[in-house]
Amino acid sequence: RRLNVRVNVELLSISNPVHKKDLAVRLTDDTDPFFLYNLVISEEDFQSLKSQQGLLVDFSAFPQKFIDLLQQCIQEQNKDIPRFLLQLVSSAPVLDHTPVSLNVVETNPFKHLTHLSLKFLPGNDAEIKKFLASCLKCLKEDKTMLEEKLRKTEEDLTRQLSYTQQSLSEKSRELDKLRNEWTSHTAALTNKHTQELTNEKERTLQAQAQYQQQHEQQKKELENLHQKSIQQLQNRLSELEVINKDLTERRYKGDSTVRELKAKLSGIDDECQRAKQEVLSLRRENATLDAECHEKEKLINQLQTRVAVLDQEIKDKDQLLTRTKEVLDATQEQKVPLKESTEKKQSHIEKLEATIKSLSAELLKANEIIKKLQGDLKTLMSKLKLKNTVTIQQEKLLAEKEERLQKEQRELQEVGQSLRMKEQEVCKLQEQLETAVQKLEESKQLLKTNENVITWLNKQLNEIQMAKKPETSASAHGGVRTGISPNGMPDRPSFPSSGISHLISPLYAYQNFPEPAHNKNVSPHCPIPFNTQLSKMNRCSDVQTATAQPANKENSDNLGLDAKYFKKKDDSIPLRGLSQNTLNSGYLKPYLPPKAQPSPKAAVTPASAYFPG
């Protein structure tokens, strides 16, 4: 059988008559008071036990080692297969006052090893009585100790009870006061908050209505401006298309005239060959001078055309800039009230957020107070159930207030979202304005290209008409006299109508005159700038003159020129997109000088059409 046994190990020291030490071991059972076995081991007995069982420990270290073995047995007692066992073996079948042996056994799969075997003697009546008396004494001492503890605990509990009752009464009074104060304070706060909330709601509604009206008005104004700009651009497009059609018609007419001129040129080629033989000697002399003059005239022609085109472009750009500035000023004026309104809204929102923060801080403080009160009330829940109902109702009211505050916060968020939407709409309108400006710039570029094409066509038409004019003059006049200057060079033709008496060679008379006479140098002795007036040119006294025979324009003979002056250039570009300003400016109208009056110095019939630059 298995039994729980208490083992007492004592080291006894005896000094009478000889000082010696004994080890006393006692086995008892808490359930059976008559279960008592004793063992007393002296140093001499330990020596015989050591030699019998082969122990390696001295007498002084034996008690601790024995206790260690017992502790190992205690640790292994709850296991299914314990490693250390404590066996109590008796020779009799029943434990009936017979000596027993206590064995400490270590078990392994191979063998049961007994580390220690001690023989215990059963206690006699005197020892049992003595043991029972000691047990009674211990029980009485424990009883007296417990009674004293009980008495002390009762006194402490009564004191604590009285103190807790007093503190309860004081806390209940404080609670009532706090409740009264809290109810009055909450009522005042609710009234204030309700009034403030109603006022703020009315203000926000009024502000929202005003902002909506302003936004609608601004939107309508911007839409009207946008529609006006679109209509203006459409009108401009229609005008440009009409101009393009007119120019294409003119181009076709010019092509037909060129064809007619080619047919006439084929008949005149024979007459030109005859005139070539006469002009070869003169050409060799004037080739260098004519080439230089021709290049200079071309350069002057190009520069003047470019100046005119640039002046027109500057005027158009100035008009467009004034329009764009007006549109930008209008948009900036519209932006200013929008910015002011947004700043006011932001300041109003910041004020509302500050009030909400103060309210939330106060609510947090109230929540902390409520939590403290609830913690105090939990200890007194048994006696204060009726009072808890009141606190629950107050918590419900607070929850309702929190819900109201959350609703107000949501409304503020909605107001902020509406403000963001309005800002996005303003950004969209600005993007539309930018696209309109880009379209205007593209139309400017188209106008520039059209004006460049117009200038090129003006040059082409001038060349064609200048080529046509010598042919008519050659057919009208039978011959032209040439004047030789004192320097040995042929004279230039004079233009009496303009007041300039400058000699001109026959070859020079039949070539192109793209530039006006008053833009050329009168003579090598009297240099005159391109923009000088005719009166200044007439003052030059060193101009060499030559006489020319006046002849009838219709009956004169033609002088021969190279076929390259009458060939059509194939690298022509069709006219497209010419503006109305260029048509009305007179670039395409040839200027013919009036009939030359015979002057006392010289008289020269103009042989070519005259075109301004």
Lowest mean pLDDT among 202-211, 220-229, 353-362, 436-445: 353-362
Tell me what the mean pLDDT of segment 194-206 comes to: 91
> In this predicted model, what pLDDT tens digit does every residue of 441-450 receive, in sequence order?
898 999 999 9
pLDDT category of residue 15 using cuts at 50, 70 and 90: confident
Query: Would residue 86 count as lying in a domain?
Result: yes
Range of the domain at 70: 5-123
pLDDT of residue 561: 43
Tokens 């420990």 identify what position?
57
CB 247 within 8 Å of CB 575: yes
> Residue 495: inside a domain, yes or no?
no
pLDDT in tens, 351-395: 888 888 888 888 888 888 888 877 776 777 777 777 777 878 888
Pair of tokens at residue 369: 């107070």
Predicted pLDDT of residue 569: 46
Q: How confident is the model at residue 473 (pLDDT cuts 50, 70, 90)?
A: low
Least confident of 57-71, 341-355, 442-456: 341-355
User: Does residue 93 form part of some domain?
Assistant: yes
- Summarised one tens digit per residue, pLDDT across range 595-605 is 444 444 433 33
Let me know if residue 79 belongs to a domain: yes
Q: Is residue 80 part of a domain?
A: yes
Query: Where is mean pLDDT largest: 13-27, 404-418, 464-478, 490-504?
Result: 404-418
Which tops the pLDDT comparison, 605 or 336?
336
Characterize 120-136 residue by residue with b for buried, 16 or more Cβ atoms within 10 angstroms of its Cβ, and e for exposed: bebbeeeeeeebeeeee
Min mean pLDDT across 43-52, 93-102, 397-406 is at: 93-102
Question: How many domains does the chain fold into?
Answer: 1
pLDDT of res. 151:
94
Does 523 have pLDDT greater than 70? no
Give residue 165's pLDDT: 93
Least confident of 176-190, 359-373, 431-445: 359-373
pLDDT above 90: residue 149? yes
The pLDDT score that the predictor gives to residue 317 is 85
Helices 125-379/385-476 angle, 10° precision: 50
Which of 286-295, 483-492, 544-553: highest mean pLDDT? 286-295
Looking at per-residue pLDDT, the higher value among 545 and 357 belongs to: 357
Q: Say which residues have a Cβ less than 8 Å from residue 414's Cβ, sequence separation at least 6.
A: none
Exposure on the CB side of residue 405, measured as CA atoms within 13 A: 19
Residue 10, domain member (yes or no): yes
pLDDT at 211: 92
Structure tokens at 55: 């122990």
Supply the pLDDT for residue 526. Answer: 37
Residue 46 within a domain: yes
Sheet holding 36-42, edge to edge: 6-14, 20-28, 36-42, 112-122, 100-107, 84-90
Q: What is the pLDDT of residue 294?
A: 80
Asked if residues 556 and 475 have their Cβ atoms less than 8 Å apart, the reply is yes
Mean pLDDT of 181-204: 92
pLDDT score at 457: 92
Token code pair at residue 197:
């909330």
Mean pLDDT of 460-485: 65
- Please report, rounded to a whole number, the percentage of residues in the chain having pLDDT higher than 90: 22
Over residues 83-107, the mean pLDDT reads 81
What per-residue confidence (pLDDT) applies to 471? Answer: 66
Return the number of other C-beta atoms located less than 10 Å from residue 484's C-beta.
13
In a domain, 556, yes or no: no
The predicted structure's pLDDT at residue 228: 92
Task: Say if residue 556's pLDDT is above 70.
Answer: no
CATH number for the domain spanning 99: value is 2.170.210.20
